[in-house]
Amino acid sequence: MKYYIIAGEASGDLHAANLMKAILQEDVHAEFRFWGGDLMEAVGGTLVKHYRELAFMGFLEVVMNLRTITKNITFCKKDIAAYHPDKLIFIDYPGFNFRIMKWAKPLGFETHYYISPQIWAWKEGRIKDIKRDVDEMYVILPFEKDFYEKKHNFPVHFVGHPLLDAIKDKTPVDEYEFRKANGLSDKPIIALLPGSRQQEIKKMLALMLSVVKDFPKYQFVIAGAPSQNFDFYKQFIDNENINFISNKTYDLLSLATAALVTSGTATLETALFKVPQVVCYKSSNISYQIAKRIVDLKYISLVNLIMDREVVKELIQNELNTKNLKTELSKLLTEEYRAQLFNDYYDLEQKLGGSGASKNTAKLIVKNLN
């Protein structure tokens, strides 16, 4: 069968790539055409557009790039119509994917949505669009099944979280060789995960690096996103205790003592690697003020949302400053604080269910559910 997949971010590229591998096990003749990234391209098929061309962060940034977004939507519709896939698969990325599925469903395309958009956080009214335009929804967070089925009477499939598979399948890293190959010293590592988009990296990284001088016994290592090159990051590196490693975030996390992490999927990845972390978030003031008024959540990190309590410290907007970062990072390096976090991380993993999300989803997609 022919599959058309749309993933608009780095995390979507990872999960879509694993889903594609699982689909190939169920359908050896599968053909793929997709919007995504390097990981999907490595599996095979035709990459139509890379996610680095699609990522716009915040309300203001989206408005400023409306013309580009509109052109991409128009092009995507024409490309799908020309390819005429048997299955159309959306990976999160709701701002774009909702517009495509609204167009696709009336034309008879079979629509599958893997990794639910976070309508439980904001824009809950989008449930009407999902009921109308999505044939099958596959959710990865345990509380999402109740949200859809009990609150909105829309049946979904809870398939487990794909990060469990991605981390489980990771090849163990040789610490000595990793440090040697990347020019790292013997000092303990504090990982910095400032995000994947240039806009958020600019906001986060300078603040994260502002505490370097306060922790001379540690080395700070920037986890470079695959969508950005070193030339962009080098403007921030002005200290011998700062290092940069591109596209090896999982290897870095497997060796890190602590981490400063931009809010998003990376907070959950860091937790599953059992790395104590501080969650950071800062956007433009306009975007933040709008978000405050329309997002109804107690927490911004997936770790705290899943656990429904504060497990990791969140520093948001004005609270994200050098003084608070220094205080919270110091806590992460104490044995008592770390021991409690490790216990919480274990409970978190249990809540996420077992491994096999990609395989479970692939079986359901390939099977003719309709």
Asked whether this chain's domains 2-160+356-366 and 168-351 adopt the same fold, the reply is yes
pTM, full prediction = 0.78
Indicate the domain borders of the chain: 2-160+356-366, 168-351
Residue-wise pLDDT tens digits, 315-345: 998 899 999 999 999 999 999 999 999 999 9
Confidence of residue 202 (pLDDT cuts 50, 70, 90): confident
Across 28-45, average pLDDT: 96
- pLDDT (0 to 100) of residue 166: 83
Q: What per-residue confidence (pLDDT) applies to 63?
A: 55
CB crowding 113-138: b at 16 or more within 10 Å, else e? bbbbbbbbeebeeebebbeebbebbb
Q: Encoding tokens for residue 247?
A: 């596209």
Enumerate the β-bridge partners of residue 31: 2
The mean pLDDT value for 252-281 works out to 95
Residues 246-271 have a mean pLDDT of: 94
With cut-offs at 50, 70 and 90, classify the pLDDT of residue 200.
confident
Most confident of the following: 29-33, 232-236, 298-302: 29-33
> Quick one: average pLDDT of 236-260?
93
Confidence label for 370 from pLDDT (cuts 50, 70 and 90)? very low
| Domain 2-160+356-366 fold | Rossmann fold (3.40.50)
Six token digits for residue 268: 């959950």
Question: Which one-letter amino acid corresponds to residue 180?
Answer: K
Q: Identity (one letter) of the amino acid at 22? A: A
Contact 110, 87 (CB under 8 A): yes
* Token representation of residue 138: 């596959």
Q: Using one digit for the tens of pLDDT, what is the confidence trace for 46-97?
A: 999 999 877 655 554 555 566 777 889 999 999 999 999 999 999 999 989 9
The pLDDT tens digits of the residues spanning 270-303 come to: 999 999 999 998 876 665 555 555 566 788 899 9
With 60 as the cut, is the pLDDT of residue 35 above it? yes
In the block, residue with structure tokens 């995960």: 193
Q: Which fold has domain 168-351?
A: Rossmann fold (3.40.50)
**For position 264, what pLDDT does the model report?**
83
Distance, in Å, from the CA atom of 56 to the CA atom of 60, rounded to the nearest integer, reads: 9
The two three-digit tokens of residue 313, written as one number: 């410290």
Of 183, 311, 192, give the one whose Cα is nearest residue 253: 192
Radius of gyration of the chain (CA): 21
